[in-house]
Amino acid sequence: MNKQITLAMGNGGEENNELISKVFYKAFANDILEKSEDAAVIHNGELAFSTDSFTVSPIFFPGGDIGKLAICGTCNDLAMMGAKPKYLTCSVIIEEGFSLEELEKVVDSMKKELAINNAVIVSGDTKVVPKGSVDKIFINTTGIGEIEQKGLSANKISEDDVILLSRDIGCHGATIFTAREGMELSSNLQSDCASLSIQVQALIKEGVQITAMRDATRGGVSAVLNEWAKQSNICIEVQEEKIPVSQEVYGLCEMLGFEALNLANEGTFILAIPKADAAKAINVLQRFENSANSVEIAEVTQEYPAKVILKSGHGTKRFLEMPTGELLPRIC
């Protein structure tokens, strides 16, 4: 591993996983942490507990801002464990000179997203640091949620499951890139940043049995599928043509050489569902605007354990690897 911290070590890909396993897991190892879920399951399986820090640049972007992102991110991590978000903490580091008007816009976004999740901020902290110490504002949110469907785990996926995708991919990463670079596109491209707890609660209410869920944030769909394949020692065989990609994201990827499967999302999630419940799950998801084009994208086999295979419409196959290198830093 590189002796100096690099941007690639924070991008949700191979280098990020290596840093976490060889530094943090090595020091903090325990049975709960080593399950590597989106949120820790505690208190006899009744509660989910998660934390995340947000440093996105620019802090305002089409489809959201750092405040909305901070609430969605932590609430979504709780939702991915079948939990209903309840209580959050909020810690804010603000750069000297940041405008009060922009701070109030960020806090207002947080308030609106909390209401959507029916969650509340119950504790917090504020630090102001000298100009240049941080870029405008960094936010950390930590949350606790009540688990409504127990037993969800990325370590339990089997050949009895299929893999579903909630919507088209890559919108957040593409939006942040174009906003950061000042690219003016004649399109409606905007981040998919959204709370997912409503869809998850609808799935649970309809009796859909869920094996595992994960929001495809840093590292995108590629990272989640590779993590799942390794955690459950399975092979995930993806039908490439079934993966929805908008024309805007596809065009940007073609122009700049990006892989849409590696781009970050902030309101898109992947589900492992027993085959018998897959159709019901898609029917529930398609009731919501944010998941109207949800689709089954893959089957689980033992063809190549711990590997992800991308199958083209022409019958060819290739391994889909874990993303590496500096994908796009500070996207969340």
Q: In this predicted model, what pLDDT tens digit does every residue of 81-109 receive, in sequence order? A: 999 999 999 999 999 999 999 999 999 99
- The partner residues of 127 in beta bridges, in order of sequence, read 93
Separation between Cα atoms, residue 16 and residue 19, nearest integer Å: 5
Same domain, 169 and 81: no
Give the pLDDT confidence score for residue 183 in this predicted structure: 78
CATH number at residue 57: 3.30.1330.10
Final residue before a domain boundary, out of 95, 116, 147: 147
Does 20 reside within a domain?
A: no
Same domain, 197 and 242: yes
Give, as one character, the DSSP assignment of residue 24: I
Cα within 13 Å of Cα(201), Cβ side? 15
Token couple for 42:
């505690």
Does 224 reside within a domain?
A: yes
Does 10 reside within a domain?
A: no
User: Do residues 220 and 9 lie in contact, with contact meaning Cβ atoms separated by under 8 Å?
Assistant: no
Confidence of residue 203 (pLDDT cuts 50, 70, 90): very high
Estimate to the nearest angstrom the gap between the alpha carbon of 288 and the chain centroid.
18
Same domain, 58 and 176: no
Confidence of residue 136 (pLDDT cuts 50, 70, 90): very high
Same domain, 176 and 52: no
Does 1 reside within a domain?
A: no
What are the DSSP E strand ranges found in the chain? 40-42, 47-54, 60-61, 64-65, 83-95, 120-129, 137-147, 161-165, 212-215, 235-239, 269-274, 295-301, 307-311, 317-319
Same domain, 108 and 173: no
Q: Which domain holds residue 248?
A: 154-319
- Three-state DSSP state, 301: strand
Long-range contacts of 313-318 (CB under 8 A, 24+ apart): 313/239, 313/240, 313/241
Give the pLDDT confidence score for residue 11 in this predicted structure: 82
Final residue before a domain boundary, out of 147, 164, 181: 147
Does 304 reside within a domain?
A: yes
Give the pLDDT confidence score for residue 38 in this predicted structure: 92
Residues 40-55: tens digit of each pLDDT: 999 999 999 999 999 9
Final residue before a domain boundary, out of 147, 167, 195: 147
Same domain, 90 and 190: no
Does 326 reside within a domain?
A: no
CATH number at residue 272: 3.90.650.10
Separation between Cα atoms, residue 206 and residue 286, nearest integer Å: 13
Same domain, 207 and 107: no
Give the pLDDT confidence score for residue 327 in this predicted structure: 75
Mean pLDDT, range 128-151, rounded to an integer: 97
